[in-house]
Homo-oligomer: A and B are copies of this chain.
Amino acid sequence: MQEKPRTRKGRRPTMVDVAREAGVALRTVSRVVNDDATVGAELVERVRSAIAALDYRPDERARHLRLGVTGTLGAAVRQLSHVNPVLRAVERAARAAGLMVLAASTEDDEKIERHVVESMCRRRFDGILLEPIGADHGYLVPELAAGLSLVAVDRPVLGLEVDCVLSDNVAGIETAFAHLVAHGHRRIAYIGDDERIYTAQERATAFRACLRAQGGAADAMIHTGPIQRERIHHALESALSGPDPATAVITGNATLSVETVRWFRDHADDVAIVGFDDSELATLLRPDLTVVAQDDAAIGDTAITMLRTRIADPATPVRKVTVPVTLQARGSGETPPKRT
C-alpha cells in the first residue's frame, strides 16, 4: 500500500509535487511558501494541506542557489571541543538576526583551517567568522577579492587588512601588573605561551613594558615558550628561586594558570597569582583565582555586528575593535608578598 502515491518514489517531494497535489501552478506554491500576499485564501488553504499531506520541506540548496544568499554564517574556531564561550555569544547574536551559524574546528592546524574556510566559501556562506592561526593567510586573498565577508576574532589575520575584534591584551597585563604592585609586590614573574602566537606575543610585550616602566630590566622574570608541562614547571622553578625570587606570578592564559596552580600545589603556597582568561576552575582553587577576564558576550556581539555590516556593504572600511577586559579579584592576587 503506497501511502503517498503522488510523489515520485524514493524522492523527497518538491514544489512540483505539491503543485500537482493541490492542482495549482508551481509558482503559486512558491508564493504560498514565501507568504506572498497575492494568493487567494482558498488556494492558500489547498496548497497548505497539500504541503502537509506530502510532508513537503523546501530544499534550501535550490533556494540559496536561486537567491544567491544562504543566510548562513560559518565559524571556524580553534577548538569546538574546548571551552569556547565566545561562540555561544556568537550563536545567540546570529540567531537573533535570523542567521544560522555553523561551526567547525581548525584544531590550530594550517591545513585544516584552510580546508574548513575554503569549504565554507564553496558553500557560499554569507560570511565567515575566523579565529585565525598564526600562519600565512595568502589563500584568503582571492576569496576576499571575490567578495568573502570575514571577521577575525581574538587574533588578527597576519599580513591582511581584515576586520577583527580583539581583547585588550595590553590593558589586561597592565591591570594585572598594577594590581599586584598595589598589593606590595615588586618582583613579579610572567609565564607565557609561545610568542609566535599573536596574543601571547602581545601579552609578553606588554609585560616587558610594565617591567621597564617599573625600572627593573630583569629578563629573568619573563618566561615564554610552548605549553609543555616540563617547560612551565622549570620556568616557575627558576622564577621562584635564586637570590631575588618572584613573590607573584602572572600567567598568560588559562592552560598556563592550570599548570602553574598544579605546580604551586606541591611546591609553593605563598605566591600571588593573577591569571589571564577566566575559566570554570578559577573558583575551584584555594584561594580562588584572580583573573583578567575577557568579555565573551561583547566579543561575540561585536563580531556578528561587524560581519553583518560587511555583508551588507562590502565596501565598509576595515575596522579593528578592541574589547575591554576586566580584573576579577578573587583572592589569589590579593595576598601580600611573603617575607624574604
User: Which A residues are closer than 8 A to B by beta carbons?
Assistant: 12, 55, 57-62, 64-65, 70, 72, 74, 79-88, 91, 95, 100-105, 112, 116, 118-119, 121-124, 142-143, 145-147, 258, 261-262, 265, 280-281, 283-286
Contacts and interface: CB of A to CB of B under 8 A. Distances in A.
Given A61-B65, A122-B58, A80 B87 contact: yes
Contacts of A103: 80, 102-104
A124 B61 CA distance: 7
A115 to B, nearest CB: 8
Copies in the complex: 2
A320 to B, nearest CB: 24
25 contacts: A12-B147, A57-B118, A57-B121, A57-B142, A57-B143, A57-B146, A59-B122, A60-B124, A61-B65, A61-B124, A80-B80, A80-B87, A80-B88, A80-B103, A81-B85, A82-B83, A88-B105, A91-B105, A100-B104, A103-B103, A258-B281, A262-B283, A265-B286, A280-B281, A284-B284
B61 A70 contact: yes
Contacts of A281: 258, 280-281, 284
Contacts of A121: 57
A121 B59 CA distance: 8
A269 B281 CA distance: 19
Interface pairs A-B: 7 shortest CB-CB: A81-B88, A102-B102, A55-B142, A60-B122, A281-B281, A61-B65, A60-B123
B104 A57 contact: no
Contact of A83 (B57, B60, B81, B123): B81
Contact of A104 (B86, B101, B123, B285): B101
A70 B58 CA distance: 15
A259 to B, nearest CB: 9
Given A80-B80, A81-B88, A102-B102, 19 more contacts: A12-B147, A55-B142, A57-B142, A57-B146, A60-B119, A60-B124, A61-B61, A61-B64, A62-B65, A72-B123, A80-B103, A83-B83, A91-B104, A91-B105, A102-B104, A103-B103, A262-B283, A281-B281, A281-B284
A116 B281 CA distance: 30
